[in-house]
Amino acid sequence: MIQREVLPNGVRIVTENISYVQSVALGIWVGVGARDESDKLRGVSHVIEHMLFKGTPSRTAQQIADEIDTVGGDINAFTSKENTCYHVRVLSEHVPLALDILTDMFLNSSFDAEELGREKNVILEEIKQRDDEPDDLVHDLFAEVTWPGHVLGKSVIGTPETVSSFNSDDLRSYIKNCYTPDTIVISAAGNLNHDEIVAYVASKFGDLTGSISDWRAADTTPEFQPGQIYVEKPIEQVNLVMGVPGVSQLSDEKYALSILDNVLGGSMSSRLFQEIREKRGLAYSVGTYAQSYQEGGYFAFYSGTGAATAEQVIDLIKAECVNIRKNGVTEKELQRSKNQFRGGIVMGQESMNSRMMRMGRNELNYGRVLPIQEIMDKINAVTVSDIASLSERLFAKEEFSMATVGPAPGSVTESDEDEEETEE
């Protein structure tokens, strides 16, 4: 059973007691991320995420790691464009310790200047790693060219210039402005006691004050721009992402888009996987994904293929968009996708971490945890006609934004030239 409590200052607590397991997943969520950063603070949410592991007045960074490892738990965090999450998973008997460590990190981090200097170097290396991995870089580039000028088009990781510029006061100021009670959700799933967690959270978080509305800029819908960006790298494959406008996380159309995603490229039986990989052998990786935020979204196609075949892959993707817009999906495809969606949800419920993540995201996005049955009812209500209407809106203009990383599409790579000389 999912239980929910809201403290007088607005901090929310959602838990789900699963009595037949022996572990608990805990998360402290903050409904802020890269979309809340100014140009000068680009990447600060991600830097704060790193720094919360670097010590408090009562624990060093080493002690934080040691205390979790000693009880066989694991602790981690992530930053996205709309939220940040600090999470831990432990055996049920160690919930008090896990709560204490997470809370200490969240409320009492020291932001030592020397530690910050070292961690900024770590993040600069992380940026270099991202830039060296074309299958990561291309997705950031696609968002930037698709939504130029909008905060959702900016990278979570920041830039070398902004990351290098941060000092401890920048981090403290951002936390004061953004880590406010109305943005904080504590979620937990597993063999737990709801009342005990609420009592602990109230004792530690109950005195927090402030509101994100005092600082946050108003939401604005990102305007899709069908632009193109190409980054040349001396690698074997063209890594490409191309896409069209999608839907907001708050729109019920996201359920129809989930079906469309599955039919086009979301599984091994999908049209593009079968056509591009299985029938033609043009790519190892090919697929689709829907990226939805509260303010808007996009629907993207991705693939990695040789320079000589990149244009053919692009043409095949465009042709399938035309085909599905004109001819729609079959009842068989629709039912198969619904079954896959249901299977994913049900199997996800077998993981305490997945349950905790779902509750945290739901609370931040919708102000409540959506019941599984409600989600399934909306998925089951999607019709062939719904998919046809959505496809018409998404693909009618046949205008795509595109990002590519690697050799220029249509070019011959150095290795290809060597093979041709050998054959001659």
Give the CA angle between residues 306, 307, 313 to the nearest 5°.
Answer: 70
Which residue among 37, 49, 275, 363 is the active-site one? 49
pLDDT at residue 410, rounded to an integer: 67
pLDDT at residue 216, rounded to an integer: 75
pLDDT tens by residue, 157-180: 999 999 999 999 999 999 999 999
Q: Which residue numbers in the chain have pLDDT < 50?
A: 413-424
pTM: 0.92
Angle, to 10 degrees, between the axis of helix 95-108 and the axis of helix 61-70? 160
Q: What does DSSP say about strands 12-17 and 184-190: parallel, antiparallel, or unpaired?
A: parallel
pLDDT at residue 251, rounded to an integer: 95
Domains and CATH numbers, the chain: 2-214 (3.30.830.10), 228-419 (3.30.830.10)
Give the C-alpha separation, 333 to 151, whole Å.
Answer: 36
Using CA atoms, how far residue 79 sits from 27, 47, 157, 163, in Å, is 13, 9, 9, 15
Residue where the block lists tokens 């939220």: 83
Active-site residue 278, yes or no?
no
pLDDT at residue 213, rounded to an integer: 80
Give the C-alpha separation, 152 to 34, whole Å.
Answer: 7
Give the C-alpha separation, 424 to 418, whole Å.
Answer: 10
Using CA atoms, how far residue 81 sits from 36, 45, 48, 143, 247, in Å, is 8, 9, 14, 11, 16
Give the C-alpha separation, 17 to 116, whole Å.
Answer: 38
